[in-house]
Chain A
Amino acid sequence: MKKLFLLTTFLFACTLLYIFIIRGPEGTQEGQWQTYKKTGPQNIYSYPTTPEEKKEAKIVDGPKKEEKPLRSPASKKVEKMKERTSIKGRNWSLLPGQDLPKTITYLNKVNDNWKGLMGQDILRFLRPKTSLFIKPQARLTLLERDGGRHVEQVMVKMLSPEGRHFSYQAYIDSETGKIIKTWNNTIHEPMGKKTTTFRATGSIGPSGSTRF
């Protein structure tokens, strides 16, 4: 009986450990939108994006559609990059020509709270009424000069307090939550010539500085 109890406890612990490692403490769900709000300079809270917010931010959900080619090619000559695991639940994102060295050092760890840190990092400089929505897309490890860096690939959507839409994809450092790289930024067609410009506060030169 005691053995059964121990076994059950052990299995339960293994299950918890599995959930923690594989899914993360919040069950880091890829493909699920999360809303971030700023309540003060240092206070950010987040929750799963509500249907109303999705409507406002033009966020589309829905099951991922399977797209299969109508006709599969008879033969393929492409040498496909093999997926290789870096740490549990995460694959290397190796670029063409990149090979893993025999020994790997990792430049960062995976912080379970990367999402919170990222929200804080992005919203820190923005007005409180800015809306931020983030959807995790992939968990990757990049091979850099000095070792492997764990990153989270995310899709970011933002709504300015005036309702302007912005979107892009980004790599987020899995430990610090900081944005490392962005791409696929929205291409706007501003119909009107109001571009955001900044007037120089002043100038500096060999003879000192001048304020305008």
Chain B
Amino acid sequence: MRKEPNTTLLKIIPSLYQWYKEVGITLPMVGALLTIVSCVPSQNGGGGGAKRVRGATTDNSTFSVSPNFGRYLDDNPIALSGNTSLDSTTPLGKFLNQSPRFITSNQFLIAPCASGGAGLDQCLEVKETDTSSYITATENRWAFNTSTQEFLQVQTFANMKDIMNKFHTTLEFSYNIAQGYGYNSAIPSQLFTSDDNAYWFKSGILKGYSNCGVENNAFYDPAGNTICLGHITVEPPLYVATDPTVTWHEMGHAFNKIGMNTRHRAFESSISVDSNLGFLFYDEAGAINEGLADFYALFMNNRTLFADWALGRYLKQARPLSESESVHSPGVEKTQDGRLSYPTYITYDPNEPEKAFEDVHYAGQIPSHFFNAFYESLQDSSICGLSSDLSLKMTYHLIFETLAEIGDQTATGSGVLTTNPANFKVNLDPTNAVEWMAKNKPITFRRFFQVFSKYFLRTLGNSSFAICNGREYYLDDYEKLLDSYGLLLFKTYNENDNNMFTGHSGSNTTVTPTNRVKSQLISKDLLILDNRENATTAFVIDNQRDIKAAIESLILSGRISSISSQIDGNFAFNNGNAQISPGELVAVAVNLYNNSNSTMAGVHLLANDWDHVKNGAPCNNLGDNFPLDSEGAANLTTGEGAQGGCDYTTRYNGKNILVEPNEELAPVCLVELPDEEATKWVTQDKMRTNIGLAKTNCLGGDTSLKDCFIRAVKGADHAFYSRIDSKKTWAESLITEDGVPEFNSSNVIFFEVSPWIPPGTTFNCRMRASFTNCEDCHHDANNGYDDYLDFEFAGAKPFKIINFKFTVID
């Protein structure tokens, strides 16, 4: 039987498609054409590693260019010169592109953008700093001496504009792939027609500052939508803007924001909270954000070393994107064994491999290396055989699909945008979507790559589309590649998603178990509170100086919501006695222990409210044998299988009073009430009425009685640990020189402790833990290893319950 040629890729290139229709070409010709297309130099492409002639300084005087034109560096000076010891004193003129390029015909450095037939007049602008004036062209020309601030602004503008244009070309390609093949895609059909500019920013222009004054720093501010490029403190300063890879990296963060917010912006919903990729100082979502941002540098210059000028030259912090970069430690290589795999390399800095850094930028190297390996595999004729251009576009297509689904606050995930709850397939529902992304079902390496893989299956892995030179990318090849990075962490591709009404119906493609060699999954029961002899239950930070510094950093960065007015502004009750005392604000690092023989990674401890108390009493059928029936457990025979009963998990995270009037969440901490006959575990409100405390004296005032005495600060109510090694705790895994553990703000949970707690009162905070490479935290062995349904993450099933018991002591 004759197979129809694969025409959809052609359709995205209209002239070629026309040619195909008119002339009639065969399948091998299609492949050949795609190869030819990929050989045409990219309009906006980077230097591709081309070297400038050393010593030949390009004259960049005003009249050396035509009106509206200028010159700039289209890669960093080390990449352009090949000289890794280039000095910040070196004049950069000799590395400028020889042929002038069009900059803008606008009066100022302001650029329009267009994609998919839509467009905006003003998409980005560049100035030196936010308060400086716009520069204008000299005699209508944008050529400036490289030592001037004007040059730096043109440089930044051109780098931003080039990547914006390439991003929009790629996004249009991606949209056409989704529409052309017509599979169940996350890329919304309204991408280019929504009034909320789903292909760019709802609130308009992206601003770049070429010399914003910050030392040894650059940042992307998604609230104001600005990119700030600082300088490296050497003499003379190395301006970050002279390293386009850093500008592209920052643009990558901006593109990730667009990606995460694609669906609800396309829907023009009134959602004003943006979805973010990363919620703590360290979490895997933040690592994916950084890895993707590094990959945006490769997107432009096809190089596998990021920021070897701005970060590498003086600070020794350049980051590779391929195992073949020489900066890597011995043993890191492009083999099944040698890939930069999870979790082995999760805290690895190739520049200082002997130390461990829990940092999103270093952890991001695992995804960035995977993206590059996948991109290379698409070019490999034995695997797929696409051109490098199409390989890059298809890699980004899967990235766009993934971001659109995981960040979706409409909760529909893919397909039609609707308000119908029957279509809420991801992130539970619009009310809880952000909480699900950040805490209950967070964006981890497992979640991201499972969704990425689902869209792989729907496109490159689909035999009827035959995208890879007339055939599909074989699933075995794909799973083996993912596994070589330790990222084959899921058991099915979860095509049926997680809707409560459809449940586990629908078929899922199963991962071939023999392909999972490096990606080890560990039972959640092996994550425990350290119970060895003389073990520590938790580390406590309660001295004023450290708490002040910690809270200041959390408030400045906006990671937490308000702290109770019951807590003194100077932390006067914080006594530094390493106990939990009345009136204190304390940071607690619960001492989790990995009792398995493998490294646990992405360990996430939750202290947010959940469904474990019914009718005012704690349920004891949740797997932790707490509390005993005699200790005040809820009556299990009441309302079994029905709302309000202990074997019912809220479908709406306890927030739908109309449908579930008897379902509400409870705070994690319960309190021991000394009884004449036996100990009773009760809710904090019961304790309040018992001791006769006025409602207004609760931590949250008279409207928040359930967490009257002990409350986890919102935003600091979850902790994340990069890895816990076998038979160790986190503190033992990332040991400091003197053995006293040092924590960053994402390793601890902050608790407000009411000054009204009678000393001697004992609490049990019933937290929930999960980890990325967990065998039984994500999929349900009783349902064909299909993923747990979204609503189940409001309860106990996907988690290991960690009971943290302590007595408040003055």
Contacts and interface: CB of A to CB of B under 8 A. Distances in A.
Given A70-B121, A188-B219, A196-B553, A96 B577 contact: no
Interface in A151-181: 153, 155-158, 160, 164-171, 176, 178-181
B546 A199 contact: yes
B220 A186 contact: yes
A80 B193 CA distance: 13
Interface string A187-202: 1111111011111111
Interface in B207-245: 207, 209, 212-214, 216-224, 226, 228, 232
A81 interface: yes
A58 B228 contact: yes
Interface string A16-49: 0000000000000000000000000110000000
The dominant DSSP class at the A interface is: loop
Contact of A125 (B209, B221, B555): B555
B190 interface: yes
A61 B232 CA distance: 28
A6 interface: no
A156 to B, nearest CB: 6
B744 A196 contact: yes
Nearest to A138: B272
Interface in B612-629: none
A207 B532 CA distance: 12
Contact of A180 (B220, B221, B536, B561): B561
A176 B536 CA distance: 39
A189 to B, nearest CB: 5
B270 A189 contact: no
Interface residues of A, number: 91
Contact of B577 (A79, A97, A209): A209
Interface string B389-433: 000000000000000000001110000011111001000011100
Contact of B558 (A73, A78, A166, A205): A166
27 contacts: A59-B130, A59-B131, A65-B122, A67-B122, A78-B266, A80-B268, A96-B271, A96-B419, A97-B429, A98-B431, A124-B563, A125-B548, A125-B571, A158-B555, A166-B556, A166-B557, A169-B223, A183-B273, A184-B274, A186-B221, A191-B311, A195-B359, A197-B744, A200-B541, A202-B578, A205-B535, A205-B537
Interface stretch (B98-106, B111-119, B447-455): B111-119
B311 A71 contact: no
Nearest to B279: A185
B551 interface: yes
A138 B273 CA distance: 12
B641 interface: no
Interface in B598-615: none
A192 B315 contact: yes
Contacts of B189: 77
B465 interface: no
Contacts of B168: none
A204 B219 contact: no
A110 interface: no
Nearest to B271: A95
Nearest to B575: A201
Given A96-B410, A203-B539, A184 B223 contact: yes
A116 to B, nearest CB: 14
Contact of A60 (B131, B540, B741): B131
B250 to A, nearest CB: 8
A208 B548 CA distance: 25
B118 A69 contact: yes
A199 B742 contact: yes
A76 B194 CA distance: 8
B442 interface: no
3 nearest A-B pairs in the assembled complex, by CB-CB distance: A202-B578, A168-B558, A73-B193
Nearest to A74: B193
Given A126-B555, A196-B549, A97 B223 contact: no
A212 interface: yes
A203 B740 CA distance: 10
Interface string B322-347: 00000000000000000000000000
A191 B232 contact: yes
B745 interface: yes
Among A101, A127, A157, A168, find the residue whose CB has the most chain B CB atoms closer than 10 A: A168
Contacts of A186: 219-223, 557
B591 interface: yes
Contact of A182 (B359, B542, B591, B715): B715
Nearest to A108: B703
B270 A83 contact: yes
Interface stretch (B35-43, B87-95, B649-657): B649-657
B274 to A, nearest CB: 5
A201 B120 contact: no
B217 A95 contact: no
Interface string B344-363: 00000000000001010100
Contacts of A205: 534-538
Nearest to B420: A97
Interface in B732-752: 740-745, 748
Given A167-B221, A198-B748, 5 more contacts: A95-B431, A125-B548, A164-B556, A200-B589, A204-B536
B20 interface: no
Nearest to B190: A78
Given A200-B589, A202-B539, A209-B579, A101 B658 contact: yes
Given A60-B130, A81-B269, A146 B657 contact: yes
A178 B560 CA distance: 11
A198 B742 contact: yes
B129 interface: yes
